[in-house]
């Protein structure tokens, strides 16, 4: 081993290189990340989740949800589509023109060109930007996940295995807290072929008192407890559901742009 010191230096250099590219550089680049503005809006993103939902993150962690669920939406492409918003004063000319144009699955330049032709003919058109990819086709999100999404997560529950669906946007897909509770207590009662184990220890089965509990689950017959008993969620279940409902990645950001249809946040809640 006459070159022992040289070999040590080389090994140390390799370790130093991977440490600086995987730890130091990302820390320098994203360590100071702050809230950013939502595209075309005065809203900021992300907003810290409420306390109950933050505690729910720890319940999510404790129950190992990340073993079967990811929280990262992938995006493989981006397309534009041109939408005719007004036919203008010569509707027949514009509609004849539109019939000859390709309006979907365009690149940005093609879309601008098509919109320009429609405007030149007297109509009005706008260009929508749409994220594409297998995850987005499944309805798991409207755009890819970016670093910004995890700003207030401690620890970040990225996950790497998808036995169940991705949960990055589950608060938008499944906004009903009751559905979430039923799904945790008896997954098969709401999703027929669910592979998820029931998390019954997050609930309490107890004798119905003088008056039934207001938050007792309304279960289907085959999942319901014995007569005279009711299933009530423990605080952990409520926290976990609050966390799940806080998972939203449905706002357009500079890093991951898309055209948000229905931009109005004033729409009445469902």
Partner 1 sequence: MSNEPKSPGPGTEPTASRSHLPMWTLVVLLTLLYLGSIYFDHHSGWFDKQVYSPYGTAAELELYQPKSGAAAAAAQGRKVYESICGTCHGNDGLGKPGQAPPLAGSEWVIAKGHNRLAHIPLAGISGPLSVNGKEWNMAMAAMGAALSDADLANVLTYIRGSWGNKAGEVTADDIKGIRASLAGHSQTMTYDMLMAMPE
Residues that bind partner 1 (CB under 8 A): 25, 29-30, 39-42, 75-78, 80, 83, 85, 108, 112, 115, 124-129, 144, 146-147, 252, 254-261, 263-264, 266
Strand, helix or coil at 196?
Answer: coil
Closer to partner 1 by Cβ: residue 66 or 136:
136
CA-wise closest residue to 170 among 140, 194, 197: 140
106 or 167, CB closer to partner 1?
Answer: 106
- Least Å distance, CB 7 to partner 1, is 16
Which positions ≥6 away from 146 have C-beta within 8 Å?
253, 255, 256
CB nearer to partner 1: give 24 or 67: 24
The distance of Cα 104 from the centroid of its chain, to the nearest Å, equals 25
Rank residues 57 and 82 by Cβ distance to partner 1 and give the closer one.
82
Nearer to partner 1, 189 or 249 (CB): 249
Write down the least CB distance from residue 177 to partner 1, Å. 24
Cα Dmax for the chain: 88
- Nearest approach, Cβ of residue 61 and partner 1 (Å): 26
Report in angstroms how near the CB of residue 112 gets to partner 1 at its nearest: 7
DSSP state of 170: H
DSSP string of 72-117, one letter each residue: -----EEEEEEEEEE-TT-HHHHHHHHHHS--SSB-HHHHHHHHHH
Question: CB 235 → partner 1: shortest distance, Å?
Answer: 33
Closest to 131 measured CA to CA, from 141, 143, 119: 143
Closest approach of partner 1 to the CB of residue 176, in Å? 24
Give the nearer residue to partner 1 in terms of CB position, either 42 or 100. 42
DSSP 127-144: EEEEEESHHHHTTS-SS-
Residue whose CB is less far from partner 1, 85 or 154:
85
Q: Which sign does the torsion angle of CA 215, 218, 223, 226 carry?
A: positive
Residue 101 CB, nearest distance to partner 1 (Å)? 16
- Whether the CB-CB separation of 85 and 261 falls below 8 Å is answered with no
């Amino acid at each position: 081993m006459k070159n022992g010191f040289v070999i040590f230096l080389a090994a140390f250099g390799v370790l130093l290189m991977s440490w600086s590219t995987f730890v130091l550089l990302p820390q320098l680049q994203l360590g100071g990340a702050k809230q950013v503005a939502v595209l075309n809006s005065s809203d900021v993103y992300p907003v810290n989740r409420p306390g109950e939902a933050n505690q729910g993150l720890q319940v999510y962690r404790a129950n190992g949800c990340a073993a079967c669920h990811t929280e990262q939406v992938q995006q493989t492409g981006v397309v534009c589509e041109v939408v005719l918003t007004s036919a203008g004063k010569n509707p027949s000319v514009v509609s004849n023109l539109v019939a000859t144009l390709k309006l979907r699955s365009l690149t940005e330049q093609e879309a601008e060109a098509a919109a320009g032709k429609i405007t030149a003919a007297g109509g009005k058109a706008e260009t929508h930007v749409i994220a594409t990819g297998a995850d987005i086709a499944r309805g798991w999100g409207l755009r890819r996940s970016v670093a910004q999404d995890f700003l207030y997560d401690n620890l970040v529950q990225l996950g790497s295995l998808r036995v169940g669906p991705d949960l990055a946007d589950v608060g938008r897909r499944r906004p009903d807290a009751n559905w979430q509770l039923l799904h945790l207590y008896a997954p098969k009662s709401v999703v027929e072929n669910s592979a998820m184990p029931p998390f019954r220890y997050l609930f309490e089965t107890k004798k119905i008192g003088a008056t039934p509990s207001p938050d007792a689950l309304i279960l289907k017959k085959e999942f319901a407890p014995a007569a005279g008993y009711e299933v009530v969620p423990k605080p952990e279940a409520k926290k976990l559901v609050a966390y799940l409902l806080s998972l939203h990645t449905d706002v357009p950001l500079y890093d991951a742009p898309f055209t948000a249809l229905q931009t109005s946040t004033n729409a009445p809640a469902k």
